[in-house]
Structure 1
Amino acid sequence: SYRGFLFGSLNADVLPLEEYLGDTRQVIDLIVDQAPEGLEVLKGASTYTYDGNWKLQMENGADGYHVSVVHWNYASTMSRRNYEANGTPTVDANGWSKSTGGVYGFKHGHMLLWTRALNPSVRPVFKHFERLSERFGATRADLMVNETRNLCLYPNVYLMDQFSTQIRVVRPLAVDKTEVTIFCFAPKGENAEDRALRIRQYEDFFNVSGMGTPDDLEEFRACQQGYNATNLPWSDMSRGATRWLEGADENAQAMNINPLLSAPRSEDEALYISHHHHWQQTLLRSLNKREVTQ
């Protein structure tokens, strides 16, 4: 386990957990350290399936490019609530692509998407900035409060700290069918007002009945159908390549992480290169072992 999160593997031949997680531990720390008494998983979970490959969900969770378009219904509805109707306030999805952000690709296939929230005051953690600053310093408190993060822990787990807080577990059922189970987590001892806001924000976007998840599932189905086309043998993942940086950029240095690749915009695809390269190398190692044993 690490910081209360339990991990398991069906393969006994694995690295020690902390070595496998590597610098993603720093990102997990940014999530856990917000809660002085630790985190808890809230009651209830949702499980759903989609007709597509499991890697579609893993790519999607760290993709900042699709948010303002695919989730336009959510973005426009939340914008009206935030600024006109005085409903449940939410992180501004309409301005997601306009804010500062970036992506990181790590060793072992892990990925991170981060953005600066345009309206961080709507997040339950916002009112705790002073406490966090006193304990961890202003720079670290700023990362916790004013930045959102989507962390992919390879191969099949996401920790989300953005529109709300979520654990997402992905289970392949077939090459073209995938099961996803989602959980909401929150700080232990959270006051009733913050807890209610967190859950309402979670329901609006993440829940099966929310406005975000159905968009993504239709996107996965359409992508899988499109992959049946055979005219183009490859899927181009070079967006933003002229901006990619090997190693850590300024924000990564502030987070005390050293990714394999950094890119300065949330829509850049640098993170997928290290992600899929790890998948490729894992398959090749397995094939080599099989050939040796035969």
Structure 2
Amino acid sequence: MTTNIEITNISNTADLVKEDRIHKSLYSDPNIFEEELDKVFNNTWVWLAHESEVAEVGSYKTAKIGKQPVVVVRDRKKNIHVMLNRCRHRGATVCEGKKGKTKAFTCPYHGWGYGLDGSLRALPKPEEYENILDKAEFGLVKLRTESYQGMIFATLKDDMEPLEEFLGGAKKWIDLFMKQGGGYPVKAMGDHRFRFPGNWKIQLENTTDAYHFPIVHKSFISSVDEEAQEVFDFLDGDGYVEDLGNGHSVMVMIPELVDLDKNLDEPIPERYAELAKALFDEGHSDAEVRKLVRAVGGSGFNLNLFPNIACSMAFFRNLVPISATETEIHHIAIGGEGAPQAFNQKRMRLHEHFQGPMGFGTPDDGEAWERVQAGSIAGTDGWIMVNRGMSKLSTSEDGNVKGAVCSETGMRAAYQKYKTLMSK
């Protein structure tokens, strides 16, 4: 039986997370939000970019760790760096573009110039700093940066465990997700950014929540043919949610699409017949066409990587906390580097159909998130339930906690990691 308690009786934010519920104040309390920036985002690995977004020498992308601005850049030796976007002189940002290509970074305030590797190269009137400034000590602050399968992460915590150890059981699923290129390396093909008036954890929950799909996404389901409707009718299927450790989880909705290298001899779905013909006409072999067609719609699962990135069926979804009641979302379309144009075009059209600003999925999701935020401030006390499926858990083949596809296993996984970090 759930017992309500007054938040005034709780001295530690971590106590607002129970095994089966979280307190609604986690969605709106500005003091809790500031604590999260310090204890969560400043104390773990945070996803910032895919390597294809900074593919060439001098290419960069600006991003944030929590609310701290950073620059992701590839230097002349083709090494990738993540650096605080802050001049070492008076603190101005040295890069304001969302992404682009440059030969160096120059502070617009006093003209201090930095190389692609962050080193301080030049400054106006250097004679005024004679014997009082060593340029070698005043480069842009570099953060510890590691990558896995092209996914770039950085951390503000020097003694953080290695990235691969942090990812743990999620690595298997990242490997599977990266088969979406249809035999070609995965590449980012642009993003769609928007903000919604709600807490970042509402979005964190969403990509591990299959329960809402047939309700919130009725308009999307009605927009596709009967064959696709059957594919997306997965609540009573063999799908599942698995706790992968460290707050990560995977929600398998379409088991037959987990490994895109398997079942290549199955009939080509009618909805992809036109694409298959275009690929055959370009001279691709039967094996190549089948591999591309099977990959074009994405993987049959959502992979949540705590705290800020989801590999969601066919795209990356990155969340950026703005305030306790506002979150920015980046939907990043992905395709295959060097893949046939028809393949990448089809992936982009599918992305637009659901994730795009005029698509069927994102606007409906956004309204649901906004209404959760609005409702969470009603009353003086209350809990958000995350207990669905707790009585029917099992163990996966990898030894992890596993629940039905419509269970809240993934949410509980994320909140238990959150509780651990907020307890420190």
Structures share fold, TM-score greater than 0.5? yes
**Alignment partner of 2:186 out of 32, 35, 39:** 39
Q: Do 1:65 and 1:97's aligned partners in 2 also have CA atoms closer than 8 Å? A: yes
Match of 2:243 in 1: 105
Counterparts of 2:179 and 2:341, CA distance in 1: 20
Name the SS of the counterpart of 2:158 in structure 1. coil
Q: CA deviation at 1:31?
A: 1.8
Greater Rg over alpha carbons, structure: 2
Counterparts of 1:27 and 1:270, CA distance in 2: 17
**Alignment partner of 2:317 out of 168, 190, 194:** 168
Q: Do 1:91 and 1:117's aligned partners in 2 also have CA atoms closer than 8 Å? A: no
- Show the 5 A alignment for 1:10-49: 10-35=156-181, 36-42=183-189, 44-49=190-195
Name the SS of the counterpart of 2:383 in structure 1. coil
Match of 2:200 in 1: 54
Amino acid paired to 1:242: S
**Larger RCO, structure (CA 8 Å, separation 6 or more):** 1
Counterparts of 2:321 and 2:366, CA distance in 1: 14
**Structure 2 vs 1, CA of residues 24 and 143 (structure 1 numbering), >3 Å: closer, same or farther?**
farther
Counterparts of 1:266 and 1:170, CA distance in 2: 23
- Are 1:158 and 2:310 an aligned pair? yes
Name the SS of the counterpart of 2:164 in structure 1. helix
- Are 1:276 and 2:423 an aligned pair? no
Match of 2:253 in 1: 115
**Structure 2 vs 1, CA of residues 194 and 144 (structure 1 numbering), >3 Å: closer, same or farther?**
closer
**Structure 2 vs 1, CA of residues 117 and 200 (structure 1 numbering), >3 Å: closer, same or farther?**
farther
After the TM superposition, which of the residue ranges 12-21 and 228-237 deviates more from structure 2? Answer: 228-237
Q: Do 2:334 and 2:347's aligned partners in 1 also have CA atoms closer than 8 Å? A: no
Structure 1's unaligned 5+ residue stretches are 84-88, 135-141, 286-294
Q: CA deviation at 1:229?
A: 2.2
Amino acid paired to 1:62: T
**Alignment partner of 2:369 out of 200, 220, 240:** 220
Q: Deviation digits for residues 135-172 of structure 1, max 9, x if unmatched? A: xxxxxxx99999611011100001122xxx21111011
**Structure 2 vs 1, CA of residues 147 and 116 (structure 1 numbering), >3 Å: closer, same or farther?**
farther
Q: Do 1:184 and 1:202's aligned partners in 2 also have CA atoms closer than 8 Å? A: yes
Counterparts of 2:295 and 2:252, CA distance in 1: 10
Name the SS of the counterpart of 2:387 in structure 1. coil
Counterparts of 1:112 and 1:131, CA distance in 2: 28
- Are 1:77 and 2:242 an aligned pair? no
Match of 1:234 in 2: 383
**Structure 2 vs 1, CA of residues 208 and 146 (structure 1 numbering), >3 Å: closer, same or farther?**
closer
Amino acid paired to 1:271: G
Q: CA deviation at 1:193?
A: 2.5
Q: CA deviation at 1:129?
A: 10
Counterparts of 1:147 and 1:47, CA distance in 2: 23
Counterparts of 1:123 and 1:240, CA distance in 2: 36
Match of 1:199 in 2: 348
**Alignment partner of 1:2 out of 130, 148, 151:** 148
Q: Normalising by structure 2, report the TM-score.
A: 0.54
Q: Do 2:200 and 2:326's aligned partners in 1 also have CA atoms closer than 8 Å? A: yes
Name the SS of the counterpart of 1:20 in structure 2. helix
Tell me which protein shows more helix as a share of its residues. 1
Name the SS of the counterpart of 1:6 in structure 2. strand
Q: Do 2:180 and 2:299's aligned partners in 1 also have CA atoms closer than 8 Å? A: no
Q: Normalising by structure 1, report the TM-score.
A: 0.77
- Show the 5 A alignment for 1:131-150: 148-150=300-302
**Structure 2 vs 1, CA of residues 208 and 117 (structure 1 numbering), >3 Å: closer, same or farther?**
farther
**Structure 2 vs 1, CA of residues 31 and 130 (structure 1 numbering), >3 Å: closer, same or farther?**
farther
Q: CA deviation at 1:100?
A: 2.3
